[in-house]
A and B are shown apart, each in its own frame.
Chain A
Amino acid sequence: MSAARFTLHRLAARNSQSFVRSTQVPTPARSAVACFSTATKTLHQQSNNATARPSTSTNDPETHFGFKNVPEHMKEAMVRQVFANVATKYDIMNDVMSGGIHRLWKDHFIRTLAPTPGTKLLDVAGGTGDIAMRFLDYCKDTHGDNSAQVTVFDINPNMLEVGKERFSKTQYHSTSQVSFMEGNAENLEHIPDNTMDAYTIAFGIRNCTHVDRVLKEAHRVLKPGGRFMCLEFSKVENPVISKAYDIFSFDVIPAMGQMVANDRDSYQYLVESIRKFPPQKEFATMIKQAGFTVMGQGYEDLTFGVAAIHSGWKL
């Protein structure tokens, strides 16, 4: 764990000029923008960054980690570190950052899934149990059903601990309805083929190194007719709202991360990773390429596209 933390900080230091707000004397052109907002600057640097940066290693393929490029094999450890840092404050920070709207998104997400009695759900990247809890509550409240099952799957033991703690205070505690599993979404080796009715991943898939492998695994474990559903931050198309959203993301959220969770860099990563994730249509295409069938355009925008629900069926 300390090695991973060291790696993160080393990389952060190396790339600090490109993704952390600079304390050096700004050039006149930059200061004009900076006095109003750093959002434009940060986004502008992102495009320069992608082409200008020499690769850190010649033979290892690179991937993005926020606006930085890192060797592929390192991303997993770095993401792990981010979530280890934020785990205990994760839910409170979600409330603070979204003004509680993430709760509405998640409620809508489960209502859209509309689980039927006895549904077996695999909730990937579901560490703190937000989706799993809503799923079981929906089954109980709508159908009076207590045969639905959910497996909470997460790469991060810290996040899973928060989830276990939370379920220990509910009626689902130590029943067969909920179980926890630690592992990588790109390799669900302990879950056999064609066993799940539904697969959900909420605000998790953008942190995975190989999104295509995650989708392939989701397709493998689902039964024929099973549903893949993803809730993820997406692209705001409306230019006016998009501008306000950028300012909020790059100026407000890291500052709030600093205040509430005392961790600016992790939240800086979170907002950057949102911008690096493919927009709605592109992600829908990836879902189709993984073998899923989509209905209509394949996604639904939430709050002007700040988040989107993607759906696919294995047929």
Chain B
Amino acid sequence: MASIARSTLLRLPKAALVTLPIATSRVAVGVFAARHFSHSPARYTSAREQPSPSAASKDGAADTTAADRAAKAAKTPDMILKKAMTYVPEHGWTVQSITKAAEDLGYPSIIHGMFPNGGADLIDYFLRDCLKRLPEELEGRMEGLKTHEKVRIGVLTRLGMVAPHIQRWPEALAIMGQPANVPMSLDHLAKIADEIWYLAGDRSADMNWYSKRAMLMGIYSSTEVYMTTDKTQNFQATQAFLDRRFEDAATVGKATNDLMQIAEFGAKSVMGILSSKGFRL
């Protein structure tokens, strides 16, 4: 299934790539990409240093209070999932990645039952983690930029977090698309759009709030799908694709306005004709 999706997608936007102009200069894009797509899975390897629970309990079983134990227990599920991320390149978004991680941390593999949705729970953890990291990553990057530039950087930074797992991301998208997981996926997509708009300084409190987020959800999800098939250096094709989507959004907005003007003009004309025929309006 994934391969079919991949092949159709490959055919779609590549041809258009060369002809369309890109809003930002190529050089700036290159520098930016080098900075943002360079996340390595290394951040997850820190979990290796954490002591196994069995070792810890031997050392300090007596001095742990019930509150400490409860606090540690509350952190355990995320600790296992964090560790499981290191197995994603090898085993994908699967229960197997989770059981491997649990065993590394000294737990019996039966503990995987904590995550009844298996791979979907692992994806959920990854998306939660990305959302938490996004403001940190964007700290001080948006100052002095125009709103649309801020949004663009936000989207690129967020896509950059997927880059280390891009080989396994089509699988993740397939899992997220399963009916049972759709609510989770949409929730995360909405949060991504909201977070980016918020960080870009959007404080609107009208219908715009919804339309802006809906527009960005569409742009983000389509670009992410495109990215899974992108083999170019630093995902340059993805960035070009993103810029085209922004242009489309602007064009659609303009077209809508034009259409409204035409409709208004038409309505006024009709009224004018009617009144000239003696109708009182």
Contact = CB atoms under 8 A, between A and B. Distances in A.
A197 B72 contact: no
Contacts of A113: 110, 113
A293 B116 contact: no
Given A293-B73, A315-B72, A225 B111 contact: yes
Given A224-B54, A224-B57, A197 B110 contact: yes
A116 B54 contact: no
A313 B114 contact: yes
Contacts of A291: 69
12 contacts: A114-B110, A115-B110, A119-B109, A119-B110, A197-B110, A198-B110, A223-B107, A223-B108, A224-B54, A226-B111, A311-B113, A315-B69
A216 to B, nearest CB: 14
B201 interface: no
A31 interface: no
A116 B53 contact: no
B111 A112 contact: no
Given A116-B99, A225-B53, A315 B113 contact: no
Contacts of B73: 293, 313, 315
A197 B108 contact: yes
A286 to B, nearest CB: 16
B106 interface: yes
A227 B76 contact: no
Contacts of A114: 95, 110, 112-113
A295 interface: yes
Given A293-B76, A315-B72, A315-B73, A226 B108 contact: yes
Contacts of B113: 112-114, 227, 311
B102 interface: yes
Contact of B110 (A116, A293, A295, A315): A116
Contacts of B111: 225-227, 313
Contacts, number: 57
Contacts of B54: 224
Contacts of B112: 114, 116
Most buried by A among B76, B99, B110, B112: B110
B77 interface: yes
Range of interface residues on chain A? 10 to 19
A151 to B, nearest CB: 15
B110 A224 contact: no
A291 B73 CA distance: 10
Contacts of B57: 224
A311 B99 CA distance: 18
A257 B106 CA distance: 48
Interface of B: 53-54, 57, 69-70, 72-74, 76-77, 95, 99, 102, 106-114, 116
B106 A116 contact: no
Most buried by A among B57, B73, B108, B112: B108
A134 B67 CA distance: 38
A115 B110 CA distance: 6
A224 B107 contact: yes
A220 to B, nearest CB: 13
A291 B112 CA distance: 19
Given A114-B112, A197-B109, 8 more contacts: A119-B110, A223-B107, A224-B107, A225-B102, A225-B107, A225-B110, A295-B114, A313-B73
Nearest to A115: B110
Contacts of B114: 295, 313
Nearest to A229: B113
A293 B73 CA distance: 7
B109 A315 contact: no
A116 B109 contact: yes
Interface in A213-227: 223-227
Given A112-B116, A311-B113, A313-B114, A225 B108 contact: yes
Interface string A280-315: 000000000001010100000000000000010101
A80 B99 CA distance: 40
Interface string A192-233: 000001100000000000000000000000011111000000
Contacts of A115: 110
List the 9 shortest-distance A-B pairs measured between CB atoms, nearest first.
A225-B107, A315-B73, A116-B109, A293-B73, A197-B108, A225-B111, A197-B110, A315-B76, A224-B53
Interface in A87-114: 112-114
Contacts of B74: 293
Contacts of B95: 114
A313 B53 CA distance: 14
Nearest to B116: A112
A197 B57 CA distance: 17
Given A113-B113, A116-B99, A293-B73, A315 B53 contact: yes
A219 to B, nearest CB: 12
A225 B111 CA distance: 6
Contacts of B76: 293, 315
Contacts of A224: 53-54, 57, 106-107
